[in-house]
């Protein structure tokens, strides 16, 4: 708060740029939303702990898989109880653990329910992940106190959203329009602008979710379960 | 009198736990831009001045402390700060980083699934809520008082005359209507959940419904999940939650909603009074439409020739579903609602503060998941709230139109002290 003296409001307001977080401006994304969570696997001491250039060892991956398979039943039960998950799967890709899901509702409400149902499971998983907990709890973590997702639901939600691959607008011109609204110079070279907008987007975040085909768009898990009479 | 041993009433804003009080029949909102941070901090710090007779004191929920010469003050002053406002007042990036992302993003980034699209879209909002001027909306002060009092106007005068470090962007007034009815004619109770540890005065009407945990509305306290989950994060960089600027604060969405009363009346003339009340889910007097209960699958409704789905899909049932059957977590998403009708020359409607501990999980969950998309019940999914939701292309039923939304942080008194020093 000290920083405010002598600073104009406009200078201060520049600091309020949170556009790197996913936006919920599109009205069509409430049902069958996609989550592509990319979680970097933590290298253990045998891997050469902090050296991010060495690949995660087969041993570390093996330990992760064994730890997760011990939680298999808990994961299945929680997914079922959530009632909003169409499909969900874990993959190991390169040095990352991927959690890919299709779900109904808003990510915030979903992740929160997720913490309630699956907090213990995620605590096991997160102990294998490199950049959990958030910086504010690293010291605590380093002293050997595990930082449970259940103790920090809001931070976990934000962590998840930051590790979810953001979706490019279905119509890439939507991206262009957004850029124009932000005050980018107009002009005839629309293709150039679009290219620049995408370059800007990819320089902020290297990953993108491009599209997903929906075989039965707009239907929730609950509607399908209800129609098939398998209980919701 | 509101009492409660473990509840830090003296630190929580009066509007949150005690409400503005029954005689508060009018409200004045001032929307302010911080132009001189040190002066603005001095001005906001003066809201913590305890000296008797001080006009613009930030009112607290401990009504015993809100008496002057033995008489309860009817003036209630509340303060909200936007994320841009916190930055403009000089709150550091480290502190700001600890605030929830939906609050920092603000309502524009989240309008799609909240039904703020089409006629409700931010492009059509009142000037000071639009994307172009959003970064200037910093501080919202509201003054609640009896109908014949003038403290709201005096505050606006005072802000204009003195060097407060803040410029008044605009102001809104709201007035309670005869019989406490909102513009469509429904008796409008303020949303007042029963809160654990907060006692009601003996003479007050008991509040219906189950008790809600304090942490659902006030930061730093146990939420509905009890020890299964800790409460919502208290924003602030300090190590101990009780030392953070977010302690005992709340979040709120300020929502200005125009009500098309002519359209509603024409629709009611055509479809009848029962249908109009079914949109809301209660009678015009605020009673249950079918006293045998919605939970009983509306057999009483069937007796009236009404499809029970209309009862389940009504405004009130969506805002507070008896069962959120899809997620087995009974996530109540309770919200404290402080609304007041407005009537300006060219339009009328409701200005409301929707108070909660987490805008994403509570306010947006209710408005997005339940009201505008109904993902909680497969029988309703894909439909929107018939009274206040976005009606798509069916403008013949767009009774309520969003005129502006702002996400606010309502600091506790100690939290405000940390922000301004």
Chain B interface includes A109 (CB < 8 A):
yes
User: If you average pLDDT over residues B164-171, what whole number do you get?
Assistant: 96
Query: In this structure, is the dihedral angle defined by the CA atoms of residues B115, B121, B127 and B129, taken in order, positive or negative?
Result: positive
Strand runs labelled E in A22-111: 33-40, 85-93, 96-103
B76, burial (CB in 10 Å: exposed 0-12, middle 13-18, buried 19+): buried
* Beta carbons within 8 Å of B319's beta carbon, 6+ residues apart: B366, B370, B371, B385
| B window 265-324, beta carbon within 8 A of A | none
pLDDT tens-digit series, residues B179-232: 889 999 998 765 677 888 787 665 566 666 678 889 889 999 888 776 555 678
Residue A138, CA distances (Å) to A123, A141, B96, B133, B296 in order = 15, 5, 19, 38, 51
pLDDT tens-digit series, residues B19-36: 777 667 899 999 999 999
First to last CA, chain B: 32
Per-residue b or e along A133-165, where b marks 16 or more CB atoms closer than 10 Å to that residue's CB: bbebbeeeeeeeeebbbbbbbbbbbbbbbbbbb
From chain B, the residues in CB contact with A222 under 8 A are: 325-326, 375-378, 381
Chain A interface includes B120 (CB < 8 A):
no
Q: Are B166 and B139 in contact (CB under 8 A)?
A: yes
Q: Are B195 and B2 in contact (CB under 8 A)?
A: no
Of B194 and B359, the one with more pLDDT: B359
Most confident region among A12-26, A140-154, B311-325, B341-355 by mean pLDDT: B341-355
| B window 24-83, beta carbon within 8 A of A | 33-35, 37-38, 41, 83
β-sheet bridge partners, residue B80:
B140
pLDDT tens-digit series, residues A162-188: 898 877 765 565 666 665 555 554 445
β-sheet bridge partners, residue B81:
B139, B409
Distance in angstroms (rounded) separating the CA atoms of residues A181 and B132:
10
User: If you average pLDDT over residues B279-307, what whole number do you get?
Assistant: 70
User: If you average pLDDT over residues B333-338, what whole number do you get?
Assistant: 88
With CA atoms as reference, the chain A residue closest to B239 would be A136
Distance in angstroms (rounded) separating the CA atoms of residues B170 and B173:
10
pLDDT tens-digit series, residues B251-273: 999 999 999 999 999 999 999 99
User: With bands split at pLDDT 50, 70 and 90, how would you rate the model's confidence at A83?
Assistant: confident
Mean pLDDT of chain B: 85
Has this prediction a pTM greater than 0.90? no
Chain A interface includes B379 (CB < 8 A):
yes
Please give the distance of CA B246 from its chain centroid, rounded to a whole number: 18
Beta sheet of A96-103, edge-to-edge order: A33-40, A96-103, A85-93
* Beta carbons within 8 Å of B71's beta carbon, 6+ residues apart: none
User: If you average pLDDT over residues A210-216, what whole number do you get?
Assistant: 83
Three-class SS of residue B3?
strand
Q: Are B110 and A25 in contact (CB under 8 A)?
A: yes
Count Cβ atoms below 10 Å from residue B42 Cβ, excluding itself. Answer: 14
- Return the CATH fold of A33-166: Alpha-Beta Plaits (3.30.70)
User: With bands split at pLDDT 50, 70 and 90, how would you rate the model's confidence at A97?
Assistant: very high
Chain A interface includes B385 (CB < 8 A):
no
Nearest to B93 by CA among A74, A101, A7: A7
pLDDT at position B135 is: 93
User: With bands split at pLDDT 50, 70 and 90, how would you rate the model's confidence at B74?
Assistant: confident
User: If you average pLDDT over residues A102-120, what whole number do you get?
Assistant: 78
Q: Are A104 and A44 in contact (CB under 8 A)?
A: no
Structure tokens that stand for B407 in this block: 């996400």
Distance in angstroms (rounded) separating the CA atoms of residues B360 and A24:
11
User: If you average pLDDT over residues B288-294, what whole number do you get?
Assistant: 64
pLDDT at position A78 is: 81
pLDDT at position B122 is: 94
| Cα B238-B410-B384 angle, rounded to 5 deg | 120
Q: Do A1 and B379 touch (CB under 8 A)?
A: no
Distance in angstroms (rounded) separating the CA atoms of residues B319 and B307:
19
User: With bands split at pLDDT 50, 70 and 90, how would you rate the model's confidence at A2?
Assistant: very low
A33-40 vs A96-103, strand pairing mode: antiparallel
User: If you average pLDDT over residues B342-352, what whole number do you get?
Assistant: 92
* Beta carbons within 8 Å of A56's beta carbon, 6+ residues apart: A41, A43, A47, A95
A81-95, B132-146, B188-202, range with the lowest pLDDT? B188-202
Q: Do A83 and B233 touch (CB under 8 A)?
A: no
β-sheet bridge partners, residue A167:
A209
Could you tell me the residue ranges of all domains in chain A?
33-166
β-sheet bridge partners, residue A129:
A41
Q: Are B116 and B390 in contact (CB under 8 A)?
A: yes
């Amino acid at each position: 708060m000290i920083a405010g003296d002598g600073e104009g409001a406009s200078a201060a307001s520049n600091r309020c740029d949170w556009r790197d977080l996913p936006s919920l401006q599109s009205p069509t994304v409430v049902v069958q939303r996609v989550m592509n969570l990319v979680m970097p696997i933590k290298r253990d001491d045998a891997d050469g702990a902090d050296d991010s250039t060495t690949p995660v060892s087969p041993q570390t991956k093996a330990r992760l898989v064994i730890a997760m398979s011990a939680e298999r039943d808990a994961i299945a039960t929680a997914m079922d109880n959530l009632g909003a998950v169409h499909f969900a799967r874990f993959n190991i890709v390169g040095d990352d653990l991927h959690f890919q899901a299709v779900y109904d509702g808003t990510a915030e409400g979903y992740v929160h329910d997720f913490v309630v149902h699956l907090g213990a499971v995620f605590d096991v998983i997160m102990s294998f992940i490199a950049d959990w907990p958030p910086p504010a709890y690293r010291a605590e973590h380093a002293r050997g106190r595990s930082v449970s997702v259940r103790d920090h639901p809001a931070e976990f939600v934000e962590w998840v959203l930051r590790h979810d691959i953001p979706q490019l607008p279905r119509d890439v011109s939507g991206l262009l329009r957004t850029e124009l609204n932000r005050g980018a110079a107009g002009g005839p070279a629309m293709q150039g602008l679009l290219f620049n907008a995408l370059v800007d987007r990819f320089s902020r975040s290297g990953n993108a979710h491009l599209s997903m085909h929906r075989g039965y768009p707009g239907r929730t898990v609950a509607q399908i379960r209800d129609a098939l009479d398998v209980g919701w | 009198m509101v009492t409660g041993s473990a509840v830090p009433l003296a630190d929580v804003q009066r509007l949150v736990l005690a409400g503005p009080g029954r005689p508060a029949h009018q409200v004045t909102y001032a929307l302010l831009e911080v132009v001189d941070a040190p002066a603005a901090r001095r001005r906001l710090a003066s809201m913590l001045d305890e000296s008797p007779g001080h006009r613009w004191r930030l009112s607290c929920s401990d009504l015993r402390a809100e008496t002057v010469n033995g008489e309860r003050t009817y003036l209630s002053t509340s303060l909200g700060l936007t994320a841009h406002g916190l930055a403009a007042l000089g709150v550091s990036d480290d502190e700001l980083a600890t605030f929830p992302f939906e609050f920092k993003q603000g309502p524009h980034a989240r309008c799609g699934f909240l039904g703020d699209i089409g006629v409700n879209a931010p492009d059509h909002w009142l000037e000071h809520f639009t994307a172009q001027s959003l970064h200037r909306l910093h501080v919202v002060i509201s003054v609640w008082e009896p109908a014949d009092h003038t403290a709201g106007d005096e505050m606006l005068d005072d802000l204009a005359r003195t060097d407060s470090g803040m410029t008044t962007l605009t102001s809104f007034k709201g007035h309670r209507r005869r019989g406490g009815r909102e513009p469509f004619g429904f008796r409008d109770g303020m949303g007042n959940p029963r809160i654990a540890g907060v006692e009601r005065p003996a003479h007050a009407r008991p509040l219906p419904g189950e008790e809600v945990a304090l942490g659902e509305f006030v930061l730093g306290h146990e939420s509905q999940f009890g020890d299964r989950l800790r409460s919502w994060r208290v924003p602030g960089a300090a190590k101990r939650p009780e030392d953070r600027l977010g302690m005992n604060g709340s979040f709120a969405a300020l929502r200005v909603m125009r009500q098309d009363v002519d359209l509603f009346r024409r629709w009611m003339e055509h479809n009848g009074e029962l249908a109009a009340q079914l949109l809301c889910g209660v009678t015009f007097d605020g009673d249950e439409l079918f006293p045998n209960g919605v939970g009983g699958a509306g057999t009483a409704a069937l007796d009236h020739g009404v499809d029970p789905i209309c009862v389940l899909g009504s405004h009130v049932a969506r805002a507070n579903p008896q069962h959120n059957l899809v997620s087995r977590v009974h996530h109540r998403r309770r919200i404290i609602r402080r609304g007041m009708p407005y009537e300006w020359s060219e339009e009328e409607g409701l200005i409301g503060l929707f108070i909660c501990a987490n805008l994403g999980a509570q306010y947006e969950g209710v408005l997005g998941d339940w009201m505008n998309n109904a993902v909680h019940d497969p029988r309703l999914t894909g439909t929107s709230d018939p009274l206040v939701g976005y009606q798509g292309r069916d403008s013949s039923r767009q009774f309520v139109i969003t005129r502006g939304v702002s996400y606010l942080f309502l600091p506790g008194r100690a939290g405000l002290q940390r922000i301004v020093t």
